Every structure is written in structure tokens, then in C-alpha cells.
Amino acid sequence: MDVGRSLLFLLLTSFFLLPSHSQSSDSFTSVLVSQNGLDFVKNLLVNKAIASIIPLQIPRIEKYMRIPFLGGIDVVVSNLTIYELDVASSYVKLGDTGVVILASGTTCNLSMNWHYSYSTWFPPIEISDQGIASVQVEGMEIGLSLGLKSDEGGLKLSLSECGCHVNNINIELEGGASWFYQGMVNAFKDQIGSSVESTIAKKLTEGVSDLDSFLQSLPKEIPVDDKAALNVTFTTDPILKDSSITFEIDGLFNKRKTNQVLKSFRESVSSVICPGSSKMLGISVDEAVFNSAAALYYNAEFMQWVVDKIPEQSLLNTAKWRFIIPQLYKKYPNQDMNLNISLSSPPLVKISEQYVGANVNADLVINVLDANQVIPVACISLVIRGSGALKVMGNNLGGSVSLQDFSMTLKWSNIGNLHLHLLQPIVWTVIQTVFVPYANDHLEKGFPLPIIHGFTLQNTEIICSSSEITVCSDVAYLDSSQLPQSHLSLPGSMPWKTK
């Protein structure tokens, strides 16, 4: 991967975005990168991205010189290669029009071949010599000024300025009569310096152009499973402040293949508040995101179950119910049963400072199994109230739910009136042993947070507030040897030093 692609891929990760004062109610997930996060990305940027230019070939240089008594001399410098960089300092600065990244006090070491030739007029012979040389460039500064804004849900990259400036060059010749020609080759200093500056600047400019096309092809959704995907389109230009950058994405769940979006409404854009300023990243997720997932799976008819096996299997025989619903046992003595549970509406998730909970409306149909027939005998409407616990697993946000309480009403019956208070222990057992474990099995898998592949969350903390949760976290980078080959990865370690 060349310097431009590496550099700008990391910039994408740091969300170096153009400032904007607009906010959008179509955003349900907010991401804030703090100053610590910006510094982390800047250090990684310097170490991984710019270092990918090594080794860098500088174009061949030719020069014609006239020397008294000798006449015209052709001098050629070839195979000029930068093989090492040493950065004394670097910083990132947030400006009114974008972000400036500067590496200053940089030195680089180069190797090259040198060759000269001239012809004498008497006698008419050609004289030549050649050798190698080492070059040290000192006091070099490399700078980029970049802008990134939202464009039809994606990202558009622009390059404001790009430059490289060399302050001093030292050349030491080896081979041939190098001591004799040192002064002659020193005449190439300005040309070598200019070539180094223009080559590095050209590489960075090419990288910006390449990555602009790459950014347009970034996926606008993250697959969750075969039914759902997370909408990660940008909804507005990001908001840039003195020491942080916040950007807004849609964040709701889509129905895969049809691109049907289950929309909700967010009253205001989150401020993504993390305690103190030590964490690198803050990700705010509105409760509408959870409710969009619930609505999607409900509409896909994913939330209905036939219960024919439970830990206490005797409960699924009318004999166990003869003292609870005598008329059921009288009409269907010693018959096996099953329970059909289906949600009557999508679960509703509510988040507050003290509580994460969900209300679930469901219908419980009692069926009797008679030979090859399934005979519905009664339907009970349930309102189930549960409390949730959230946790971060890798880059996924998951959790678990526990039963708080539930209420019941008789919806219809083919066997007369039912004493619902007598049914409560059985229904409680079914919810606790079937419904809750099934829900937790899916909740524990979680859904992906908007983190660029190659980075992982560390030392996470979850904070609940009115209608949203915020994940405050540090970030670690996994080098290419730790990443799956199917994903875009960043270059590994290079001969690049930072101080």
C-alpha cells in the first residue's frame, strides 16, 4: 500500500472532518474523537502511513558543466533512493477549513550512484569515473492540509495543500577518485533537494486522488446477519471543535436486500459526553437504534416460537393442568400440549440514567396435540417487562435481559373462563426457561459499533442517559499480521522513527 492510501485510510479512521454548524435529526448514532484520540491517530499516522514511502525512488538527475581547461562534463546521478526517515516531531492542528498535519525536523538518508564523463580534444579520448554516494537530508518538513465532508451519505476527500521543504543536504562520495570530485557533485545539492521535495509531494497528491475514489466505494451498511444491516451513512458534515470532532451517522437497522429503512425520530443530536477527557473515543447510540432492530425482526416474523420442550416437560401435558384448568383436562385428558408464543407488536426499548429496559407485548396460545391435529384452546395476552444490562465485546455492543414482571389478560378461550392467577407460575416458568434464554442468546452476540476495521476498542465504559447510551473507550491498532486477509489492512512496521 503506498503512502497516499495508507495516510488517508488512517485519516478516515480519525474522522478528520470539515467543520459544520448544522445538525440533523436523521442521525441516531454519534461519534466523538477527543484530543487524546486525535493524538493517538496522529502518532499512528506518522509511524504507519508516511513510512510506507520507504524505499522511495527519486528520478535520475543529469547535469552538463563547463570546467576551465577540461571543457564540458556530463554528470549523472542515478538510482537515488530514500531508505530511512527520522521524524523529530509531529503534530496535528484543527483549523477553520480542515486539518493540518506536519512532520518537522525530519531527516532522511539516501543512497545514489554517480557517474561523469568528458572528452579531450587532444588527444581525442573519453575520460570517465563512477561510484556511489550517501546523502543525508536535514531539517525537512512535510505537511498536508486535508478536508473531508459528507457527500450523498458517503465521504468526499479534498486536498487543500501538500508540500515538502528541505533545509540542508550533505553528500559523501565513495568509489573512484571521489575525493577529487566531491566539490563537483556538491553542485547537485539543490537539484537533489528539489527532487526529494517534488517526489514526496507528488506521492501524497496521488494518494489523495486514489483514496477519493476509494472513499466513494466504502459500504454504506454493515451486515449484522442474513436479515439485518446497520445503516452507517453520514447524515451531515461533521462538527469540529477546539479539541474534538463529532460526526453523525444514520445508525438504524435496514432490512437487507430490499434496503427498507425502519425510521424513527431523534429529538436532538447527542453531545457525546464522556467523564473527564482521558478516553480517546465516545460513541452515542440512541434508543431508536435498538427499537429499529426490534421492529425489523418483528416485521420479518422472526419473533414467534412454538414451545414443545421445556426443562419441566410434564407441564406440557393436560394432566399437569387438571387443578389449574379443570375443564381443559376434562375435555382433553392426558393429552400432550405445546405453547405458541408470538409478539403482537415490536418490543419497545427505553433508556434512562438509571435503567435500560424493554416492554414486550405477546400472545400465548395454548394448543392441545390430538393425533395429527393441533387444537388451539385459549389465548392469553402478555405484557412482559424486562431490565437489560449492556456490555462491549470486541467492537460489538451486546447485552442481556432479565425478567422483572409480567401481566396477563384472557384474549379468547374455547374452554370457558380461566383463573389467570393460577396460571401465573406456569407462565413465569415458560418465560424464564424459554423466552429469556432465547433472547439472551441473540443479545449476547450484539451488533457492530461504527469502528474502522483494524482498530479495536479497549478499556470501555458504558454511560446511560436520557434515551441513549454512550460507549467511552480507548482504541488500539492491530497491525496487518493480526488482521484477516479479506479486509483492507495497513502496512506493517517500517524503518521509521519518531521522537
Which three cell numbers, joined as nine digits, stand for 424? 401465573
Give the pLDDT of residue 185: 66
Contact 100, 145 (CB under 8 A): yes
Give the pLDDT of residue 202: 86
Least confident of 48-52, 339-343, 352-356, 384-388: 48-52
H or E stretch at 214: helix 189-216
DSSP for 221-286, please give it. EEE-SSSEEEE--B-S--EE-SS-EEEEE---EEETTTTEE-----SS------SSS--SEEEEEE
Q: Assign residue 418 a region: left if phi > 0, alpha if psi is -120 to 50, beta otherwise?
A: beta
The CA distance from 230 to 285, in Å, is 12
The CA distance from 329 to 223, in Å, is 49
Question: 215-241: per-residue pLDDT in tens?
Answer: 777 778 888 877 788 888 888 877 777
The CA distance from 182 to 93, in Å, is 42
Mean pLDDT (the chain) is 80
Is 212 or 96 the better-scoring residue by pLDDT?
212
pTM value is: 0.71
Q: Is residue 383 scored above 90 in pLDDT?
A: yes
H or E stretch at 160: strand 154-165
Q: Provide mean pLDDT across the span 116-123.
A: 70
**Cβ neighbourhood burial of 409 (10 Å; 0-12, 13-18, 19+):** exposed
Give the pLDDT of residue 121: 64
Sheet with strand 468-477: strands edge to edge: 239-240, 245-249, 29-33, 281-286, 468-477, 455-465
Give the pLDDT of residue 326: 94
Give the pLDDT of residue 311: 86
Least confident of 48-62, 63-77, 337-351, 429-443: 63-77
Half-sphere exposure of 189 (CA within 13 A, CB side): 15
Q: Is residue 482 scored above 90 in pLDDT?
A: no
The CA distance from 230 to 224, in Å, is 7
Which three cell numbers, joined as nine digits, stand for 268? 436532538
Comparing C-alpha atoms, which of 235, 285, 338, 245 is closest to residue 467?
A: 285
Residue with cell 465532508: 149
What is the band of 329 on the pLDDT scale with cuts at 50, 70, 90?
very high
